[in-house]
Amino acid sequence: MSTPPLPEDFLAHLGSLLGEEEALRLKEALLQAPKISIRYNPDKPFAASHGKRHIPWTKTGFYLDERPSFTLDPAFHAGAYYVQEASSMILEHALHQLDIPKGIYLDLAAAPGGKSTILSSYLGEEGLLVANEVIQTRAQILKENIIKWGLGNVLVSQNDPEHFAPLEGFFDLVLVDAPCSGEGMFRKDPQAREEWSLEHVALCTLRQRRILDQAATLVKGGGYLLYSTCTFNQKENEEVISALLEEFAFTPACIPLDPSWGIEESRFDTEEGQAYGYRFYPHRVEGEGFFFSILQRPESFGTRAVKSKKEQRVSPVKPIGDKEGQTLEEELGLDGKGCYYLFQETLFRIQKSFSKEVETLLRTLNVRYLGVELGKKQGKEWIPSHEWALSTLPKSHFPSLELSKEEALDFLRKKDIPLEQAPLGWVLLTYQNLPLGWVKKLDKRVNNYYPKEWRIRMESPKD
């Protein structure tokens, strides 16, 4: 199937935006193959074989010279790295350069999860991230990627932006990676070329303004609102930011850039003075088209607002008492900093320091996942979950067994593997010291507990 041509109206706009000569360079870049890049998980170190060229605006991102078979790399399934477009990794640079305070963050349109994993790593144990996605199928993909990343500081929700209205002033940071016309993805996504039109740009602009109007109210005093798109035009970028600043009191924030990176800083006048945007053109940077802007809410605005319980939903997720939670921490060999929640006999754990905020979120949102799912207890035996295996939480109460690459791939295919050397009972399987999941060794067989819906179907190529 041939790739659709670049839309004529889009090409005409490029000429007015960049000038004819540079517009031609961008057009040529959009006809080339996209760059492949990955970002390593700093909390899951291993002997990395991918990535030799460093992406300059992130400490953990690397370019690949060619696309390997990620499906046949057990480290990918273990959450040791995330396949992510390089331009969007600028988020990491912004967080560190502005030294944004850690606390309660929201990624409002989070799927598939690349930016959420950046936020999760930045927060560590000092914060909690709500990663939200309104579309059910995309919310499931988001949940899986959060589980693989494994830090246990994320709550995954599936809600429309307006469902967050009771949480006005609740978040220290809100990221809006807005639905857009997708101009920056033209070389990766042929469908984006087919769907693009001036009318579609206008429709996206209205949607973006509506989402930002809702998101802006959620930011606490002193907190940050981050806005991004994967498109070039000013209507979906600078004009949307300008419209927001006409209605809400925010101060534009500026981040330092190295000129050698090739990122264009856009300075534009608004009612609040000069604002800043950062635009990535594929003919200037090794990455896809992207736009990014940062705003800060004045300290004079209030902090977390919580509606009374009668205005909130009853959550099916029930908190476990502090005493029982402490007993669980000791039994599982954890650090005593966790609190526990029960959903359909399955236990979930998250940092105790955010228990009040978690319970508010559980009463307000449709929560799909919380912290780390640990599993169930039947009598005196733990039935550990796959989510616990992939998390960075200790699992020292269970024996582990290191696998070769082919053994690891057979496990990920959910095949029966003999493992004669494994002890009886639950065993954690690892590859390059990265946890992959559980098996249970019985007298005459080994049960593979890798999730059926996650199993890989690709076979290794024959020599």
Cα separation, 76 vs 71, in Å, equals 7
Instruction: For residue 339, indicate whether it is catalytic.
Output: no
Q: Are strands 434-441 and 425-431 parallel, antiparallel or unpaired?
A: antiparallel
240 DSSP assignment: H
Nearest to 132 by CA among 87, 163, 102: 163
Q: Which of 180, 230, 254, 339 is catalytic?
A: 230
Tell whether omega for the bond before 451 is within 30 degrees of 0, i.e. cis.
no
Cα separation, 304 vs 92, in Å, equals 25
Helices and strands counted in the chain (H then E): 13, 23
148-173 b/e with 16+ CB inside 10 Å = b? bbbbbbbbbbbbebebbebbbbbbbb
φ and ψ of 120, to 5 deg: -60, -45
φ and ψ of 36, to 5 deg: -105, 130
Task: State the number of CA atoms in the 13 A half-sphere of 5 facing the CB.
Answer: 4
Containing 373, the helix (H) or strand (E) segment is: strand 372-378
Residue 82 pairs with which residues in a beta bridge? 39
Cα separation, 371 vs 42, in Å, equals 18
Containing 147, the helix (H) or strand (E) segment is: helix 136-149
Residues identified as active-site: 230
